[in-house]
Amino acid sequence: MNVLKKDIKFILLLISGVVTSVFVLFFLAIGVVIGKEVNATCKLATEHYGGTCVTALEKTVNDEANPYRVRNSAVWTLGQLGDPKALPTLKQHYTGTIPDREPLDHTLSQYELKKAIRLLQNGTNITAFIWRGSIH
């Protein structure tokens, strides 16, 4: 009976190790994907507007000639970057009213603006350590 208890403990320990490993790998993979998206959005913005990534993204958000999806992507990216210099730009567009549904192609997303503002005001971005050093 004592051997059976040891075997069960070993199996449970093994299972918990596998589950933890899968979670860590998933977390790292998500972080890498987010980083690639942030980097690609920064690159497009800086190629179009010049300057730093944050400045170019702010110009992207403010430029009403851009499609809403492009502007919303810039808002999301600013939130991921977490640079408080972008706070005035985001607050300028935030109304505080978040509708139940927001088609990202037809409006500047108040939900995304709220999330980005929260991240810029000392919110925690738990995946940023994986990719922030790679942004050009």
Q: How far apart are alpha carbons 60 and 50 in whole angstroms? A: 11
Structure tokens at 118: 């929260």
User: What does pTM read for this prediction?
Assistant: 0.81
Supply 122's token pair. Answer: 């000392």
d(CA 26, CA 42): 24
Structural contact between residues 15 and 4, judged by C-beta atoms closer than 8 angstroms: no
Residue-wise pLDDT tens digits, 63-120: 999 999 999 999 999 999 888 999 999 999 999 888 888 887 889 999 999 999 999 8
Q: In the chain, where are the structural domains located?
A: 2-134
Query: DSSP characters for 22-72?
Result: HHHHHHHHHHHHHHHHHHHHHHHHHHHH-S-HHHHHHHHHH-TTS-HHHHH
Q: Tell me how far apart the alpha carbons of residues 29 and 78 are, in angstroms, rounded to a whole number.
A: 21
CA 103 – CA 78 distance, rounded (Å): 20
Confidence of residue 27 (pLDDT cuts 50, 70, 90): confident
